[in-house]
Amino acid sequence: MIMRMDSPSGLLLTVFMLLLENSNSSSEERARCSAFTEQAISKCMKPMLDYAGKLQSETGAMQFPVQGSDIFKKLCRIYMEFKECTRDANCASLSMDAVDASYGYMCGTGYKLFEKHATCFAEVETQKDYVKCKVAASHEISNAQKLKGHDNNEQYFKALCSVMDEYLRCSHPVINRHCGTQAWELVSTVTTDSLRVTMPTCDMHNALL
Which pLDDT tens digit goes with each residue over 70-108? 777 888 899 999 999 999 999 989 889 888 888 888 899
Mean pLDDT of 10-38: 64
Q: Is the pLDDT score of 154 beyond 50?
A: yes
Q: What SS3 state is found at 8?
A: coil
Distance CA 143, CA 170 (A): 19
pLDDT higher at 22 or 147? 147
Q: How many residues in the chain?
A: 209
Phi and psi at residue 92, in whole multiples of 5°?
Answer: -85, 115
**How do residues 49-73 score in pLDDT, each as one tens digit?**
888 777 666 544 333 343 467 777 8
pLDDT mean over 106-123: 87
Instruction: Please state the domain extents for the chain.
Output: 10-23+30-207
DSSP alpha helix (H) spans, the chain: 11-21, 35-58, 64-85, 94-103, 111-124, 128-145, 154-179, 181-198, 205-208
pLDDT at residue 39, rounded to an integer: 93
Q: Rounded distance, CA 139 to CA 63, Å?
A: 25
- CA 142 vs CA 24, 32, 59, 121: distances in Å: 18, 31, 23, 25
Separation in Å, CA 54 to CA 27, 50, 76, 77: 31, 6, 16, 16
In degrees rounded to 5, what are phi and psi of residue 32?
-70, 145
